[in-house]
Amino acid sequence: MNSDQLEGKWKQIKGDFKKKYGKITDDEYAEAEGNIDKLAGKMQEKYGKSKEEVKEEINNW
């Protein structure tokens, strides 16, 4: 597991936390941000891409 994959796993955890926080506080922005963070984390973990590559890919969607 390389450092990008490890960072991806950490992003997934942070994404889950933001998503739950958004639901608890009824903050739709935080919930959506959590979903995006989790997606980026999964991509980093699975493909071993850098944070910049993943961010660019998500922005292109």
Tokens of 5: 């994959």
Name residue, tokens 């919930």: 31
Position 2 pLDDT exceeds 80: no
Domain count within the chain: 1
Q: Backbone phi, then psi, for 49, in 5-degree steps?
A: -85, 160
Region of 50 (left: φ > 0; alpha: ψ -120 to 50; beta: rest) is beta
The whole-number pLDDT of residue 18 equals 85
Give the structural domain span for 31. 3-60
Q: What are the tens digits of pLDDT across the range 11-61? A: 888 888 888 888 888 888 888 888 888 888 888 888 888 878 888 888 888
In the prediction, which pLDDT does 61 show?
80
Cα separation, 43 vs 45, whole angstroms: 5
